[in-house]
Structure 1
Amino acid sequence: MGVKALGYVIIETAQPERWDRFLTQLAGVMRAPDAADGAMQFRIDDRPFRFRIEKSNREWFKAAAYEVADDAALDDLAARIAAAGRPVERFTPEAAALRGVEAGFATSDPAGNGLEFYCGDSRTDEPFVSPLGISHFITGAMGMGHAVFSAPDFPATLAFHRDVIGFRETDMPAFHLMGPDAPAMHFAFLHADNGRHHSIAFGEGPVPPSGAVHVMLEYPSLVEVGKAYDRMKAMGYPESASLGQHFNDETVGFYVQTPGGFDLEIGCDSLVIDPASWEVTKHIGISIWGHEWAWQKAMAEAQKAEAAE
């Protein structure tokens, strides 16, 4: 067995109160008791936290953390990563306790994207209660959702995630985002050992100033997605992409910019795959419908302004 699922994410911020408002009042996640070291924690299910928000002097996506089966799998993965020339920083007992795990380590891929791997996860008997009345999020064996990064050296990053870590290819498209005559940008959507279409993905390009591209949460219904979309508008958060549906994972949703500068994808009705029999696809488009991106709007406005001169 390889990687089981995305377990949690760690975010650094100089403005924790902005993250508290964003996660509880827009996303509808539950504020949990702070960690022993003072970090804020937020829940979406029976795990003690899925978001760990650390006080810092910068806005930065620190790490996406993935679960493996046991100590033996963790040790084997650490050895492979070290042999590939990437750092392996083992958790102290204190660091493991803060994360609610038995053991783990921090590392990074060839692009410098922050990663953690762990075994021995934990659960709480305290019921999940959304401050906005959301009944539940889609997690379970499929984990928290997915995380998306950038990769300046796309082939090296893909080889690391596929051949060293053990993620497997789900969809491997190349999009002409800047126009039909522009060079294609390659993307990799990779699945773990569960039914989620992708637990990690990355696109060809420079690492953004925020440290990540986006994190996705799956909501229980289109009604809850629509209500979140209305909240985004009413609260004045920047819309990164309007409502739409993806080709590859069939998710219906939208993107909103987080206080950290990367996006949160809020979606529902995502495709569930059979990881054992999935055959790799190569979709030629991002969206079946919708998803007007902020950068597309900016380009269109710039072209209008240039034509008016």
Structure 2
Amino acid sequence: MKKIIKKFSFYQLILIIIFTFITLTMLIPLLNILAVSLSDPSVSTKMSGLEIIPKKLSLINYKVILSHPVLVPSLLNSIFITVVGTLINMLLTTTAAYVLTRPGLVFKKLLMVFLIFMMLFDPGIVPEYLVIKDIGLMGSRWSVILVNAVNVYYLIIMMRFFNEVPKEIIEAAEIDGCGHIKMLFKIIWPLSKAGIATITMFYAVVRWNEYFKASIYIGDAKKTTLQVILRQFIVLDDTVSILGAQNILNYNELAKLDYNALKYATIIVAIIPILILYPLVLKYYAGDVMAGGVKE
């Protein structure tokens, strides 16, 4: 017995070491980006890729990027698209999942075949562009929000969660005179918190990282998303963006700026909302939400 315990402990230790190493390969670059962005420009250029502690703590990089006349509006646009878009996504996805999981639904198989067909055979960007243009949504944030109103794959996942709700609870609610709307929001939703939290996170991440369609449908820089501005600054190396800092820095100070540190600061601003979202979602996995719901 002791040998088995020792052998198990040894393999457990190996797994801990392996996963710790994997975690560090992802965590250290992120901490290095944060450290460089918080360091003074005079020393940040000399920092290696493994340093995770800021040197000569300074917020100058964040003052510069937040003084940009386009970056802050694009940040607010991304927040609006993420919040409103995710709410619409969840409302349509959960209501559709509820309907499709009701017993006795007419043409249910035909509807599922249609949805799966639409998921597998995407019509492409050209028909979508023509529809957006014809209904007058070009240049509007609603063009990005309404295009991806429902993801069929997420809808199917939500249906699986709704199917796990015990039938006894649903039948008891129906006997008490519970209607469909009350059934969905008072019975199904509370018993499917883990699934709803998961799909909400998936939708929110996709919304926040919206780049491709925003770059096509929204031409105005002040109406576009943060990811579009981020690409111009990070990928295309658009240093013209620094001109927005002239109100707080003189030309000598601008010349001393570390452009890599400015890029890192922009990356940190872009990922903070998602980092805040994850802990809020993970709390729903602490226990089984169905525990004690039904006793056979």
Structure 1 and Structure 2 fold alike (TM over 0.5): no
Length-normalised TM-score, structure 2: 0.23
- Identify the structure with the greater helix proportion: 2
Larger Rg: 2
**Higher RCO structure (Cα 8 Å, ≥6 apart):** 2
